[in-house]
Chain A
């Protein structure tokens, strides 16, 4: 029933490990996003995909690699995790992009803790 779902909700891992966060939406939207919320609650766009094509890549280290196998999924893979990667990662989706973008719907977030 959940519109935008992310797994896992919590992830605790050691520095240097590689991990993935998955996101799925069942709203029929064609655009998906990853946002990072840091410890100060600041929300920043990381990536956006429209119809599986990358349209936004906001100066994110190339250790972060998004993958969109289809319009309903946008996964985030992170290599060689660092302490500064600890954050809550929010997935979102919308219909359309650019000035025709509809409302963004957010997932519940995935809290990543790097030790």
Chain B
């Protein structure tokens, strides 16, 4: 089965605190994983993908095949990081299979 699990519906932190948004996946084969972000009432945007191993807006994510995880991390959260974050897995037909999303709220 191809599945993405984001266990937290809502994550609330204070500005400057570290953030970790959890993502676990189920996929037989070599997975391709992404994080997408949706700011309030805007389109989804690609934040990062595991194959590029980059850091965008201070966020990083490492693919851990042993734990089948792709958690998103940022050492110091900013208020402008408040948004919905979706972890996504590339399906066998190329479409993205999304987790249910985690709403990140960064308080001042």
State the A residues within 8 Å of B (CB). Answer: 4, 31, 33, 40-45, 48, 55-56, 90, 92, 94, 96-101, 103-104, 106-109
State the B residues within 8 Å of A (CB). Answer: 42-46, 49, 84, 86, 90-98, 100-101, 103
Q: A90-B43, A99-B94 are in contact. List 5 more A-B contacts (CB 8 A).
A: A48-B94, A55-B93, A96-B94, A99-B90, A103-B49
Sample (26) of A-B pairs whose CB atoms are under 8 Å apart = A31-B94, A40-B100, A41-B100, A41-B101, A41-B103, A42-B98, A42-B100, A43-B98, A45-B91, A45-B95, A45-B97, A48-B95, A55-B93, A56-B93, A56-B95, A90-B43, A90-B44, A94-B94, A97-B93, A98-B94, A99-B90, A99-B92, A99-B94, A101-B95, A103-B49, A109-B43
Q: Which of A40, A104, A108 contacts B96 (CB 8 A)?
A: A104
